[in-house]
Structure 1
């Protein structure tokens, strides 16, 4: 159903006080955004997020094959609270580089944006990015 891809990564590359940021955030003000993956696109293909604002991104795969939500630099710029599958449980892993979703899969990513900038998101299935499956995540 789901997989997190964690390369050999150093915690120093990520937000070091993520736990404190997540704990301090007012989750009652959380904004929810849905991103749908299909052949060969993200909808929407860009997000503009406010630093310090808690978010939940609902990531859905409506395609005919598995897809990835790969954004290594973005994941280093956010304080992750958790990734949740409504059917299978939740993952509380602060360090990862990609989310893999099988056909009809859905995951909810809870986080607080921290480092301002623009970060690419793309699918790492062979040929998908070349066919346009990429977008931009901007923290302002």
Structure 2
């Protein structure tokens, strides 16, 4: 009986650890850890970058990014100066639309997931932060708040790289 209980505990621990690694890693969650992705790569904070201010807030029953549409040039380094003017935690996760939608499903399962990735930043109310990014490929990309319910409440935006 004790052997079965020990095996069960080990199996349960293995499942928990493998699930945590999958949620935190760069795979399906769409995170980048210094690798070039479909939407670019982490920018060099020491290089000149265009600063784009992005405000996160709740307004008229919706959750919003201001602006929610951004245009950049391919190869451009951008520093997103983030400010949460809302009353709730918000985050900005930069990825392809497909990756953010997949990540949103993972966030539903683990709503307190913290991001330690160069393409994502979570902010408490009235706090600021930044993301420095280089857009290496042309296309249309997504930024969203993936805290459960926030994207659905309108907290999404588009980046067009020309």
TM-score of the superposition, structure 2-length normalised? 0.57
Give, in whole Å, the separation in 2 of the partners of 1:129 and 1:99: 15
Is 1:15 the counterpart of 2:36? The answer is yes
Q: 2:136 aligns with which of 108, 114, 118?
A: 114
Greater relative contact order (CA < 8 Å, ≥ 6 in sequence): 1
- Give the match's secondary structure for 2:96: helix
Kindly report the root-mean-square deviation, in angstroms, between the aligned alpha carbons of the 2 structures: 3.3
Q: Which has the larger radius of gyration?
A: 2
Aligned length: 113
* Structure 1 unaligned spans of 5+: 1-5, 77-92
Q: Following TM superposition, by how much is the alpha carbon of 1:12 offset from its aligned partner in structure 2, in angstroms?
A: 9.2
| Larger strand share, 1 or 2 | 1
TM-score of the superposition, structure 1-length normalised? 0.65
Q: In the alignment, what sits opposite 2:71?
A: 48
C-alpha contact (below 8 Å) 1:41/1:132 kept by paired residues: yes
Q: In the alignment, what sits opposite 1:83?
A: none
* Structure 2 unaligned spans of 5+: 1-22, 100-115
C-alpha contact (below 8 Å) 2:121/2:130 kept by paired residues: no
C-alpha contact (below 8 Å) 1:49/1:139 kept by paired residues: yes
Give, in whole Å, the separation in 2 of the partners of 1:125 and 1:53: 28
C-alpha contact (below 8 Å) 1:7/1:97 kept by paired residues: no
C-alpha contact (below 8 Å) 1:26/1:54 kept by paired residues: no
C-alpha contact (below 8 Å) 1:7/1:96 kept by paired residues: no
Is 1:134 the counterpart of 2:156? The answer is yes
Q: Following TM superposition, by how much is the alpha carbon of 1:27 offset from its aligned partner in structure 2, in angstroms?
A: 3.0
Give, in whole Å, the separation in 2 of the partners of 1:115 and 1:26: 21
Is 1:64 the counterpart of 2:64? The answer is no
| Larger helix share, 1 or 2 | 2
Change (3 A) 1:51 1:126: same
Q: In the alignment, what sits opposite 1:31?
A: 50
C-alpha contact (below 8 Å) 1:41/1:133 kept by paired residues: yes
